[in-house]
Amino acid sequence: MAHTHDAEDPACAVAHSEAPAEPAGRTLVAVFASPVAECLLRFGAELGFRPILVEPDPERRIEGFTAVTGLGAWLDATADVVLTDHHREEIGPVLRDVLKFPVRWVGIMGSARHTAPHVRALADLGVPPEEIARVHRPIGLNIGSRTPPEIAVATLAGLIADRNARPGGFAF
């Protein structure tokens, strides 16, 4: 039986490759080269995000992506920023500096069962509590993800739900 679809539904036409998807107009910034960052950037590019890797350490890279070492004008109201390693000593200074930009969303990977290391790091740097509260943790939809691809999918699904004003959300 042939599939029929409503010619008036643009989403159906996109799904069947009969019409191009509209660009998302969003930037996905993965901070710190990691297996999760690699999946986020690759999958994010497929989903219409402009992928940017920020890696302060010039020795750490992800094949296929040019890393920038500093923050730039692309950290605007279209930017979703994800810190992909909560063990790096640079999390405080990096987050402090990211929070100075008008980014749309910022989050850091980490389990809800453990103390968030970024809170103390930011407080020690004098970042006000209302700015610290802008940092989401944990990130992604609560789907029990464990592997880098699963974490990336959960994170991107949450960002897409948010982008499309849907209730997917980040609640745990």
Q: What distance, in Å, lies between the first and last C-alpha atoms of the chain?
A: 41
Nearest to 136 by CA among 85, 82, 96, 71: 82
Model pLDDT for residues 122-142, shown as the tens digit of each residue: 999 999 999 999 998 888 888
Pair of tokens at residue 85: 């390693």
- Residue 37 has a pLDDT of 97
Number of neighbours of residue 129 by Cβ within 10 angstroms = 9
Q: Average of pLDDT values for 152-172? A: 80
pLDDT band at 144 (very low <50, low <70, confident <90, very high): confident
CA 29 to chain centre: 6
Model pLDDT for residues 98-110, shown as the tens digit of each residue: 999 999 999 998 8
pTM assigned to the model: 0.83
pLDDT band at 113 (very low <50, low <70, confident <90, very high): confident
Pairing of strands 79-83, 67-68: unpaired
**DSSP symbol at 32:** S
Q: Average of pLDDT values for 5-30? A: 63
Write down the mean pLDDT value for the chain. 86
- Residue 166 has a pLDDT of 82
Distance between CA atoms of residues 32 and 90, nearest Å: 10
Distance between CA atoms of residues 33 and 21, nearest Å: 29
Model pLDDT for residues 19-66, shown as the tens digit of each residue: 455 555 899 999 999 999 999 999 999 999 999 999 999 999 999 998
Percent of the chain having pLDDT more than 70?
A: 84
pLDDT band at 12 (very low <50, low <70, confident <90, very high): low
